[in-house]
Amino acid sequence: MNIGVLFEIWRTKAFTILFLAGFLTSVARWFEVFLFSVIAWKLTGNSSIAALLIMLRLLGVAATGVTFSFAGAFVVRKKVVLGASLICSLCSLVVFVYSQTGSNINVFLLGLLSTLSGSLWSIDFSFRRPMLADALPEDLISAGVSLDVLSSHATRILGPLFGGIFLTYFDLNAGVFFLFLLYILSVFLVSTQKGDALTTNTNSYTQSLLKVIGQTRDNVNLLSVISLTFVFNIFALPFIALISLLLIEKFDPNELYIGVFTSLEGIGALLGGTAITVIAINRKLISFISFLAIILLSISLSASSNSIFMYLFSILIFGMATACYSALQSTIIYINSTPELRSSTFSLLTIAIGCGALGSLNIYLMSDFFTTEEISNIMAFEGLLVGLFFIIIALVRFPVPKFFEK
């Protein structure tokens, strides 16, 4: 992709507005995860509570995905995205008011807000991203979606960075109010968009759900991506939480190096996201499968490495492959789903994403019996095994050349 293509994308006003709204929401989301983790730690002194909040957030993603996988074709997307951002801003305002009035913020409230926030992230993913792609000509969709994915990886660094700045130079109350402002600005941007027409749908909810399932079952791209998304989110995504633990267990660096080395995953994601934006990939499905394999192998390589340099190289590759995988995931779903069922198909995808909560549970159940290195290797092996199982199922239904089509 050259500079001219980027210029064409940014000239599209609707895309630019939705992109900026998504960027602000994503910064707010990671900022919120950081703040809630700090609040939970101050309340309990227990690091496992932060992990519990992440699990509740993912459960919210999955639950909302179930709802909108059949209801997505019956709603006006702009109103749904507006409503989600507005509720998120109200959630942050609740925390701010609690802290300002001296009321006790408890773990139950944080858990409730985390679950709700996860549900609203699911809505943003299911509706804003298809709207963003709809704003572009067909030949620019892949590059546009890749840019959106790249920005989401950048916010994984910016969110915690802003959190650290606010907690260092201001206080928790200022951080929560800043979170509220980010969400409100996103609401304003989405509200400037022209009305998003409701897709005509004369089917019942049950018929709509059956159509989404039927479309997925009969399309090798959709079936493969959604089934392998289960694999990634259960067996690969939770590894991000183990990166720093594995580093400490194997090499025992000081705190500064732990922070710097752990950030390599985010740097790798930025590099991978940039590469997938610039390089046009024609055979998307086989590339998607290949990137998932690279992700799982890099987990095993990092866990088995006795060299700090090999470990860091593996983490960098993990981040790069994850970004490429994510960009292809959204692009494949978009171009292979019908306009009528596009938001519903994205919602079906969020069910698979929300199953990352099972990955956290998987780590928790193994933690009393295995080291972090052993857990990482087991996860990678489980992922390769389950992924191979899903690919074999797809091969039974579809001829091999289908996997290599442009």
pLDDT at residue 198, as a whole number: 45
Q: At residue 19, does pLDDT exceed 60?
A: yes
Cα separation of 89 and 197, whole Å?
Answer: 25
Q: Which of 152, 177, 198 is the last residue of a domain?
A: 198
Q: At residue 200, does pLDDT exceed 60?
A: no
Higher pLDDT, 381 or 81: 381
DSSP 341-386: GHHHHHHHHHHHHHTHHHHHHHHHHHTTTS-HHHHHHHHHHHHHHH
Shared domain check, 234 and 149: no
DSSP state of 199: P
Shared domain check, 269 and 133: no
Higher pLDDT, 259 or 130: 130
Q: Select from 194, 233, 284 the least CA-distant residue to 65.
A: 233
Mean pLDDT score of the chain: 79
What pLDDT band is residue 392 in, cutting at 50, 70 and 90? very high
DSSP state of 388: H
Cα separation of 327 and 15, whole Å?
Answer: 17
pLDDT at residue 78, as a whole number: 66
Q: Which of 198, 214, 234 is the last residue of a domain?
A: 198
Q: Select from 262, 8, 266 the least CA-distant residue to 155.
A: 266
Shared domain check, 343 and 230: yes
DSSP 297-358: HHHHHHHH--SHHHHHHHHHHHHHHHHHHHHHHHHHHHHHS-GGGHHHHHHHHHHHHHTHHH
Highest mean pLDDT among 273-282, 355-364, 379-388: 379-388
Shared domain check, 356 and 261: yes
* Overall average pLDDT of the 324-353 stretch: 82
Q: At residue 370, does pLDDT exceed 80?
A: yes
* Overall average pLDDT of the 95-110 stretch: 69
What pLDDT band is residue 289 in, cutting at 50, 70 and 90? very high
Shared domain check, 235 and 112: no
Place of tokens 């092996």: 381
* Overall average pLDDT of the 168-177 stretch: 78
Count of domains observed in the chain: 2
Shared domain check, 358 and 228: yes
pLDDT per position as a tens digit, 292-302: 999 999 999 99
DSSP state of 404: G
DSSP 72-130: GGGS-HHHHHHHHHHHHHHHHHHHHHHHHHTPPP-HHHHHHHHHHHHHHHHHIIIIIHH
Highest mean pLDDT among 2-6, 117-121, 294-298: 294-298
The CATH number of whichever domain residue 74 belongs to comes to: 1.20.1250.20
Q: At residue 249, does pLDDT exceed 60?
A: yes
Shared domain check, 211 and 89: no
Q: Which of 151, 168, 198 is the last residue of a domain?
A: 198
Task: Give the sign of the dihedral formed by CA 187, CA 188, CA 190, CA 196.
Answer: positive
Shared domain check, 297 and 273: yes
Give me 151's structure tokens: 């920005």
pLDDT at residue 197, as a whole number: 46
Cβ pair 109, 98 in contact under 8 A: yes
Q: At residue 314, does pLDDT exceed 50?
A: yes
Residue 64 belongs to what domain range? 1-198
Cβ pair 118, 60 in contact under 8 A: yes
Q: What is the CA radius of gyration of the chain?
A: 21
Shared domain check, 132 and 160: yes
Shared domain check, 228 and 361: yes
Q: At residue 378, does pLDDT exceed 90?
A: yes
Q: At residue 69, does pLDDT exceed 70?
A: no
> Given phi > 0 = left and psi -120 to 50 = alpha, else beta, which region is 198?
beta
Q: What is the pTM of this model?
A: 0.74
Q: Select from 170, 179, 182, 173 the least CA-distant residue to 96.
A: 173
Shared domain check, 53 and 28: yes
Shared domain check, 320 and 221: yes
